[in-house]
Structure 1
């Protein structure tokens, strides 16, 4: 069996289309319930309809896109319940990572955590919430990587992708309700002291506080009814 360059190229185009569309959805450039027309997307991206269709199918599997057969395809509404359900799972997996990697967290790793956290402090002063979220992911990935378990991060990465749109949407509007820098600073102090229990509790508290903040923010949000699930023109 011989693999052709055409198949590789086609797969690359499909993945590129997926990356572009998903990024615009996650960043809010394509708003919830915005109608997605394959012909328009194909024209905008300068590619054929097939890779666009395949990209949309993948996005539908991930819950970022909704389709009504033979009627419409749209950006999915933001799913608050899904986010509130996912956060405790991420927290548990990160605590597992810290448990597995705690003995490997040395001065070099702590220095990396401190450097990232100071950048978070700087970006907090600049009110750059998108960059803060990226740095926060980088901070937590350092802890995850210390576990040396290659199976954990892909799972967390997939879960975080599902909640990123909610984080960007709500954190951007409620900048003053989040204390990421100070919570990270406490965790770093406990890691320096080699205090495992306090480190685990600090990491867990970081996630619990974020979950509580999101819960409070979403209390007044109206849930879409079936009739509301129609695409915007």
Structure 2
């Protein structure tokens, strides 16, 4: 229940969206959990309107599913959906690398190396939150340097689907992208070798596509996995 806290009155729809998205990605709202907009609104200190808008956006992004007049619930981890998202994100990061490498300066390289150091440290201590934040920070350098807003928006939209799988499987073989691959990517960027940077980027994100086949979950209802939602104040009733 502490995972969701009241938000301010500005940008209410976006704040509700970010709070719910992060709770889903972290697993605080487990796959299959039924989400009531009234209870979310009460927990966040909002009216139901921005929460409904946030849930609609999450539905468009594949994180929740709605049956009209029946339920809204967190989607399960489905291999095909994850694979499709990972493929799109891979292509976007390849484009980011191709565009950004000629534009990167020393500050960008430094930021990537520092992010990779945080990533490696987090993996060693099995700190999934820190590892994923560092991974995002590293790749965001290239996305930002590309200057392509459509690219950035696409990455932002589909990455949460992949992050759910990474969190779900964290600690298993092949879960986290190797810091060694990151180092190869950074070295290529520093050398101005665009083609090598793109090749390594492809290798990194294809590894994540491979996680998709491990993502499928059983189709039990909102007990078990869904039971944690009750601890967060989201009951198994309808909207």
Common fold: TM-score over 0.5: yes
User: Which structure has the larger Rg over C-alpha atoms?
Assistant: 1
Q: CA deviation at 1:215?
A: 4.2
- 2:196 is the alignment partner of 1:194: no
Cα separation, partners in 2 of 1:106 and 1:123, compared to 1, 3 Å: same
**Which has the bigger relative contact order, CA under 8 A and spacing at least 6?**
2
Q: CA RMSD in A?
A: 2.5
Match of 1:183 in 2: 181
Map Cα deviations across residues 30-84 of structure 1 (whole Å, 9 max, x no partner): 1111122233223323333333333322322222222222222222212321111
Give the conservation status (yes or no) of the 8 Å contact 1:129–1:175.
no
User: Across the two proteins, how many residue pairs are aligned to each other?
Assistant: 217
Give the conservation status (yes or no) of the 8 Å contact 1:110–1:191.
yes
Larger CA deviation: 135-144 vs 187-196: 187-196
Return the alpha-carbon distance in structure 2 between the equivalents of residues 40 and 177 of structure 1: 34
TM-score (norm 2): 0.79
Give the conservation status (yes or no) of the 8 Å contact 1:127–1:175.
no
Map Cα deviations across residues 137-169 of structure 1 (whole Å, 9 max, x no partner): 111111122223333211211121332222222
Larger CA deviation: 139-148 vs 55-64: 55-64
Match of 2:91 in 1: 92
Larger CA deviation: 38-47 vs 70-79: 38-47
Alignment of 1:133-148 (within 5 A): 133-148=132-147
Q: CA deviation at 1:10?
A: 7.3
Alignment of 1:78-227 (within 5 A): 78-170=77-169, 172-174=170-172, 177-212=175-210, 214-215=211-212, 217-218=214-215, 221-222=216-217, 224=219
Return the alpha-carbon distance in structure 2 between the equivalents of residues 102 and 50 of structure 1: 43
TM-score (norm 1): 0.80
Match of 1:58 in 2: 57
Give the conservation status (yes or no) of the 8 Å contact 2:61–2:157.
no
Give the conservation status (yes or no) of the 8 Å contact 1:73–1:231.
no
